[in-house]
Amino acid sequence: MLLKKFSFSLRHFATIFTYSSIPKHGLLCYHKIHKSKLSSVARGKFNTLTSKDIEFFSSLLGSSGIIQNVEELDSYNVDWMKSHKGKSSLALRPRTTEEVSEILKYCNKQILAVCPQGGNTGLVGGSIPIFDEIIVSTSLMNKVIHFDDNTGVLQCQSGSILETLENFANEKGYTVPVDLGAKGSCHIGGNISTNAGGLRFIRYGSLHGNILGLKVVLPNGEILDCMNTMRKNNTGYDLKHMFIGSEGTLGIVTEAAILCYPKSTETAVAFLGCNTFQDVLSTAKMVRQMLPELLSSLEMLDNQSADTLRDNLKLTVPIATHPFYVLVEISGTDAQYNEQKLNECLSLLMEKNHISDGTIATEPSRIKAIWSIRERITEALLKEGHGYKYDISLQLSDFYKIVEVMRERLGQKVTRCVAYGHLGDGNLHFNATSRTFDPEVLALIEPFIYEWTSERKGSISAEHGIGYKKRDYLHYNKTNEAINLMKSMKALIDPQGILNPYKVLP
Ligand code: FAD
Ligand code: MLT
Ligand code: ZN
């Protein structure tokens, strides 16, 4: 529907592919795996698997619960970015908290290293084994346990796929507070363990606020029941927070209680073209000020991201070419009110020349088509060859400067330098690509980008976590005292270091 007073060019969306879930195992292509820096660490003093161990796991989980077939294992050993291939010869697929407990009890006793894995969509090498760690996958732990219609609290197993939970909540008139491009594959347990941010952060905030309770299995097999469905519960240390964002290094999350919110019935998405980054900032400011009660997403992409979509996925933006694009989503309960407020805001943006073209969608299929432009950039970049991916938080005044600095620094050594991200919460995704891995390019980017970000008090990992790829850079955001305390917590909870070794901590 064209918002009446608004004179934007509305085009047909025939060229836009609708978003489809990213296949979990379909994108792997092993000849492209780049070893890069991922083989520089020494294997810990863990035992190796024996036939006795396999016997134990087989008797515990049955044949459907253990994977030893080499081809099948490949998809568990390789990360989404295809940047590393682990050497695990065993993936376990428990169905219950108790089975996870038995697995970890046994591994701790036998000193066998374990890598917890959800949907394996992580982008920092946290979800795949570095050596021969046993993979504990939550893929069969996908049951909804309870839904409270009065409060919107959804209790489920940690292997539930995010999109499945969203559909479930939608049927009850609710929505899950986290949404991301990998929703068709990622698990809520993976989201919790990475403290995933995503596209709704601006409205619902962090999972630290929206996860009310957790059940976690500790490395020694003990079940830590921090399940809670109350909004308010100030009873001493809130231990669940230790597991939100600790990337599987302290425990395996098996169940969660998620606070869902009443679903807005009326949504509209505006896709706007800006000529300068200053216009992007002015647009963002005005949208926030004029639509405070309606704004549910505020995202941006540059034209180099749009070029990548066009070249690699044949996906085109629905407006005239601009250096920058801003995606605004508003959600409420009254379509007319939405229309009026959005019209007022966009008219003023046009009047002030902060935007010079745009289109609006209110129909679900067109909203989805516009969203796919933003959500599929990651996939488009993957097709380019090797990706150098960065996920940083910056003050908005610094937000796009780093991209210009990096373009200058990298010149023709890369095939692309693109940026997109969660403008509403200051989270920039800077990505460079080359046909194959080039150590010279990597050396030009790292540690420079982390130093640059840290000097400006930004975060070197806004939402993807530290995993394996960034562990050597943790000190750019954490003091020595903080890192030492993190190490002490790890030693206390996992004295043998069996759980997700080589990750997060330097
Ligand atoms: P995995 O990748 O399997 O694991 C991630 C980490 O969590 C690993 O360290 C793993 O060991 C640990 N882990 C997994 N499950 C458990 C568990 N049950 N208990 C303990 N530890 C566990 N991220 C964002 O934050 N925002 C985005 O907008 C976003 N968009 C993305 C778009 C695309 C196309 C892709 C490919 C990725 C995107 N990501 C994004 C990154 C990724 O999807 C998230 O980090 C997601 O939360 C990972 O979930 P997962 O189930 O795939 O976890
Ligand atoms: C996104 O916002 O699209 C994701 O975090 C993935 C990425 O950084 O490419
Ligand atoms: Zn993101």
CA–centroid distance, 236 to ligand 2, in Å, is 35
Per-residue pLDDT tens for 430-482? 999 999 999 999 999 999 999 999 999 999 999 999 999 999 999 999 999 99
Ligand 1 binding site (Cβ under 6 Å of any ligand atom): 22, 80, 115-123, 126-127, 138, 158, 180-182, 186-187, 189-191, 193-194, 196-198, 247-248, 252-253, 378-379, 463-464, 467, 500, 503
Summarize the confidence of residues 418-437 as an average pLDDT.
Answer: 97
Tell me, what's the pLDDT at 23?
34
CA–centroid distance, 184 to ligand 3, in Å, is 15
Backbone phi, psi, residue 167, to 5°: -60, -40
Summarize the confidence of residues 102-121 as an average pLDDT.
Answer: 99
C-alpha torsion sign, points 310, 316, 317, 320: positive
Tokens of 339: 């229309």
Question: Residue 502 corresponds to which amino acid?
Answer: Y
Per-residue pLDDT tens for 231-273? 999 999 999 999 999 999 999 999 999 999 999 999 999 999 9
Who's near 468: CB < 8 A, 6+ residues apart?
Answer: 38, 84, 124, 125, 126, 130, 502, 503
Per-residue pLDDT tens for 176-206? 999 999 999 999 999 999 999 999 999 999 9
Identify the residue whose tokens are 């690509």: 433
From the list 179, 377, 370, the residue with the least C-alpha distance to 264 is: 179
C-alpha torsion sign, points 314, 320, 322, 327: negative
Question: Residue 478 corresponds to which amino acid?
Answer: K
Tell me, what's the pLDDT at 39?
52
Tokens of 233: 């519960």
Tell me, what's the pLDDT at 183?
98
Ligand 1 nearest-atom number relative to CA 126: 9
CA–centroid distance, 126 to ligand 3, in Å, is 16
This prediction's pTM: 0.94
Per-residue pLDDT tens for 283-336? 999 999 999 999 999 999 999 999 999 999 999 999 999 999 999 999 999 999
Q: Is 391 in the pocket of ligand 2 (CB under 6 A)?
A: yes
327, 299 contact by CB (below 8 A): yes
The three-class DSSP label of residue 395 is: coil
* Residue 12 to residue 16: CA distance in whole angstroms: 9
179, 17 contact by CB (below 8 A): no
Kindly tell me the burial class for residue 237, based on how many C-beta atoms sit within 10 Å of its own C-beta (0-12, 13-18, 19 or more): exposed
505, 483 contact by CB (below 8 A): yes
Closest-approaching ligand to the CA atom of 419: 2
